[in-house]
Chain A
Amino acid sequence: DTAVSQTPKYLVTQMGNDKSIKCEQNLGHDTMYWYKQDSKKFLKIMFSYNNKELIINETVPNRFSPKSPDKAHLNLHINSLELGDSAVYFCASSQVGRGADTQYFGPGTRLTVL
């Protein structure tokens, strides 16, 4: 009964390709997030959706496009992949107004661009 799940866990692809990462949460939370963690472990928020509405959109290349079909899912599509996109991408979810909005993280997707 995984709370926040992501697929795939590993993704190896060539430069220039388009790929998607999927995220699902079964916690009943209303807010979901995408983070990028680089090789130095630095965590950077990319996007956040609340009830399918984009509420945080940090300075991210427009090759990255999130999509939230419903509040339990937040997918990340990346066009024209570049070497610098190699990182671990974490999905997270939280419920606004509950328990200081603790964020719960998925297992991560390790993306390697060759």
Chain B
Amino acid sequence: AQSVSQHNHHVILSEAASLELGCNYSYGGTVNLFWYVQYPGQHLQLLLKYFSGDPLVKGIKGFEAEFIKSKFSFNLRKPSVQWSDTAEYFCAVNARGNNRKLIWGLGTSLAVNP
């Protein structure tokens, strides 16, 4: 069965620190990969996605993620976080050919201290 694992459940950083959130998935076939962000009290918004081409994907607000197929990973990065990045971050995967069903990680709660 497909699954998504996010290694860090809670991350606390100071402003200007660098961020890397881990995401690994288990699925043997071709996948589409997503990172969503949920700011406090708000709905989920797409940060970035990968479905083909350059494995280094750039998203909104200075975020990027790298798809490493051999490691089944899609880690999210940001070189310098801001207080406004405080949010829940969710990694999700769907399998090509079954694009309707997203498999979600449990989320990582990021708190950035000013």
Contacts and interface: CB of A to CB of B under 8 A. Distances in A.
B43 interface: yes
Nearest to B44: A105
Contacts of A100: 32, 34, 49-51, 94, 99
Given A42-B106, A42-B107, A102 B100 contact: no
Given A41-B107, A102-B49, A108 B101 contact: no
B13 interface: no
A56 B101 CA distance: 8
A43, A50, A99, A107: residue with the most chain B Cβ atoms closer than 10 Å: A43
A100 B49 CA distance: 8
A103 B36 CA distance: 10
A105 B43 contact: yes
Secondary structure at chain B's binding surface: helix, strand, loop or mixed?
strand
B64 interface: no
A106 interface: yes
A49 B51 CA distance: 23
Interface of A: 31, 33, 40-43, 45, 48, 50, 55-56, 90, 92, 94, 96-97, 99-108
Report, nearest first, the 8 A-B pairs whose CB atoms are least far apart.
A100-B51, A100-B32, A101-B99, A105-B44, A105-B43, A43-B104, A107-B43, A41-B107
